Chains A and B, each alone.
Chain A
């Protein structure tokens, strides 16, 4: 039997908690108090749902993938279409929820960190929608990888601050966002982009993402008359995965989280936190992280900016530790192949993050029977990755041509 998590100390078993400078304890307490009130307030819920429907286009469809299913000859594959959300990913669900909470708390300035730029775009979007200011911290390396999203954020009126510390990716952007928050917590609201960070963030983001799983469950039951056998989602910080998994935790459904294996989990170049990490504290939470023997955080690597993070949400660490969710990993190359496969079989270009889930689902479906089902959380669409992919595949084709001569 699973415990009810998190407990009043923000713990998911051993994981979670609030490991932050004293300055942030009051802001966290204020958010916690207001969040609990908001979640119990029916009018808050209704407004959240109304904006999801009328602004973001929810509910997102559940799509059967007939061609992919036929080609694999195994389990039937279904996609939960978070890619069809406004702004192109699940991140908007959370951004809308947190913006409503910020509004309720009288805060008109948002701080966000971003990796792939999807959360940054979502934050910039809701800021425009609610008439708020928005400052987004983004690693300089990610700004290069996701140039298009940087411009989108600026178009939406946000200020994008390049982060030059560390590897200049998501971890460093998160550090800088937290530092900025420490200095401006009196009038700013920190809108975190995943189920990471100190309590109550992992719980809050889960509550604003569980709409994915709640809808999927209802849609699957309506269409199939039963629950899926397996559900697969990619895990960076873990927000789309928790959002999808949470409503199924008590059900007899196999849950598989997919981390980024980069160039391979036996190389130093990966972001497979649960597979290869150890217990420690990052960004205010006790969880698994990539670190050396002296507790210095190791820079992760993935082709996917959204999965390139050395920690993981504490609830995932907990679900891994009790064995409720299995965590696997997928390399850059496998994800790139799945990216192309889904595009060509179904006419759906997935985000490179989501392609990690597709790759694992393809592998699992092949080993299953046609009366079984696999549900993939397609967390986002791949428009943001097209340029990077062009580069990635272009170079390879050039090599092929050369070697053929």
Chain B
């Protein structure tokens, strides 16, 4: 996976098929235009244990539209055709991967132009077989570390590929008004052990939070805030006369979240 260097990464997350497959492609393009460095493409799941209500609702909308793991992966090829060039990470729970077949999953992801995979309910201890496939297909399996990881940080960080995803605080995804005070210390600890960029996600929803985190890590993941924006724009996105304006509004919202990352470094 090729990541831009000397630049804080802006990594948006959206759910494939929310509200439709075509619109997911449009929204991905809009995010690229808004300055996204990597796209996390979430695969909707009936029982997402790591997700809060916002992403649960997005998944329910996508599933109602018959989105599946193979279709979500095929969307990557559609995105490539329409000009999405940034790396795309397939974010999926483990069970759909098992049903598709672990090897077929990697083969399909590679074939369709994905750049990595992230499975939030597959901890290091259970990831053996997938790590081997990840290597064989050249698609990094992105690892997560959490505030509870403690002694596990070193082990996970030293094996991390692509980038390392830090969970900001205890809890599931969803916008948070405040982030824990200990976050800076935690990120520092992770950065000490990591050879790949360290990004932070879960709860990040305002430009102020992004600005605050900017110097403590190598990038931010924004999920629920963007998904919430899509939810607000649902009707307009699905009305042909208003679609373009709604997409533009979405892009400008995304740009506002990325903006603090693009300002000159405050500490140097």
With the chains together, A175 CA to B95 CA distance in Å? 15
Contact in complex: B96, A21 (CB < 8 Å): no
Contact in complex: A21, B49 (CB < 8 Å): yes
Contact in complex: B172, A281 (CB < 8 Å): no
Nearest to B98 among chain A residues (CB) is A280
With both chains docked as a complex, state the minimum distance between the C-beta of A308 and any C-beta of chain B, in angstroms: 15
Is B237 located at the chain interface by the 8 A CB criterion? no
Is A22 located at the chain interface by the 8 A CB criterion? yes
Contact in complex: A295, B149 (CB < 8 Å): no
Q: Which of A284, A291, A295, A297 has the most CB of B within 10 A?
A: A295
Asked, given contacts A281-B121, A284-B121, whether A26 binds B148 with beta carbons under 8 Å apart, the answer is yes
Contact in complex: A282, B147 (CB < 8 Å): no
With the chains together, A184 CA to B96 CA distance in Å? 28
Contact of B144 among A21, A171, A184, A279 (CB under 8 A): A21
- Chain B residues 72 to 126 lying within 8 A of chain A, measured CB to CB, are 94-100, 120-126
Is B152 located at the chain interface by the 8 A CB criterion? yes
Question: Which segment, of A12-20, A84-92, A133-141, faces chain B?
Answer: A12-20
Contact in complex: A296, B45 (CB < 8 Å): yes
Asked, given contacts A20-B123, A294-B68, whether A184 binds B170 with beta carbons under 8 Å apart, the answer is yes
Nearest to A19 among chain B residues (CB) is B121
- Chain A residues 272 to 331 lying within 8 A of chain B, measured CB to CB, are 278-284, 291, 293-297
Is A386 located at the chain interface by the 8 A CB criterion? no
Contacts of A281 in B (CB 8 A): 94-95, 98, 121
Contacts of A284 in B (CB 8 A): 49, 121
Nearest to B52 among chain A residues (CB) is A179
Q: Which of A20, A27, A283 has the most CB of B within 10 A?
A: A20
With the chains together, A17 CA to B47 CA distance in Å? 18
Secondary structure dominating the interface of A: mixed
Nearest to B202 among chain A residues (CB) is A23
Is A223 located at the chain interface by the 8 A CB criterion? no
Is B171 located at the chain interface by the 8 A CB criterion? yes
- Chain A residues 88 to 139 lying within 8 A of chain B, measured CB to CB, are none
- Size bracket of the B interface: 35 or more
Asked, given contacts A26-B152, A182-B172, whether A21 binds B95 with beta carbons under 8 Å apart, the answer is no
Contact of A280 among B50, B95, B149 (CB under 8 A): B95
Contact in complex: B52, A23 (CB < 8 Å): no
Is A166 located at the chain interface by the 8 A CB criterion? yes
Asked, given contacts A21-B121, A165-B56, A296-B45, whether A182 binds B95 with beta carbons under 8 Å apart, the answer is no
- Chain B residues 145 to 160 lying within 8 A of chain A, measured CB to CB, are 145-150, 152, 156
Nearest to B69 among chain A residues (CB) is A294
Contact in complex: A296, B96 (CB < 8 Å): yes
0/1 interface trace, chain A 133-167, chain B, CB 8 Å (1 if under)? 00000000000000000000000000000000110
With the chains together, A175 CA to B56 CA distance in Å? 11
Contacts of B145 in A (CB 8 A): 22
Contact in complex: A183, B172 (CB < 8 Å): yes
Contact in complex: B47, A23 (CB < 8 Å): no
Asked, given contacts A9-B125, A179-B172, whether A280 binds B99 with beta carbons under 8 Å apart, the answer is yes
- Chain A residues 227 to 284 lying within 8 A of chain B, measured CB to CB, are 278-284
With the chains together, A179 CA to B156 CA distance in Å? 23
- Chain B residues 17 to 49 lying within 8 A of chain A, measured CB to CB, are 45-47, 49
Contacts of A280 in B (CB 8 A): 95, 98-99
Is A178 located at the chain interface by the 8 A CB criterion? yes
With the chains together, A281 CA to B63 CA distance in Å? 19
- Chain A residues 34 to 84 lying within 8 A of chain B, measured CB to CB, are none
Is B167 located at the chain interface by the 8 A CB criterion? yes
0/1 interface trace, chain B 121-149, chain A, CB 8 Å (1 if under)? 11111100000000000000000111111
With both chains docked as a complex, state the minimum distance between the C-beta of A105 and any C-beta of chain B, in angstroms: 15
Q: Which of B49, B69, B121, B167 has the most CB of A within 10 A?
A: B49
Contact of A19 among B56, B69, B126 (CB under 8 A): B126
Is A376 located at the chain interface by the 8 A CB criterion? no
Contact in complex: A179, B149 (CB < 8 Å): no
Q: Which of A186, A280, A282 has the most CB of B within 10 A?
A: A280
Contact in complex: A166, B126 (CB < 8 Å): no
Contact in complex: B123, A25 (CB < 8 Å): yes
The 22 sampled A-B contact pairs (Cβ below 8 Å) are: A18-B123, A19-B121, A21-B146, A22-B144, A22-B148, A22-B149, A22-B156, A23-B148, A23-B171, A175-B47, A178-B49, A179-B49, A179-B171, A185-B170, A282-B47, A284-B121, A294-B96, A295-B69, A295-B95, A296-B63, A297-B46, A297-B47
Known A185-B148, A279-B98, A282-B95; 13 more pairs at CB < 8 Å: A9-B125, A18-B125, A20-B123, A22-B124, A22-B148, A25-B152, A26-B149, A27-B148, A178-B49, A281-B95, A296-B45, A296-B46, A297-B46
Q: What is B's interface to A at a CB cutoff of 8 Å? A: 45-47, 49-50, 52, 56, 63, 68-70, 94-100, 120-126, 144-150, 152, 156, 167, 170-172
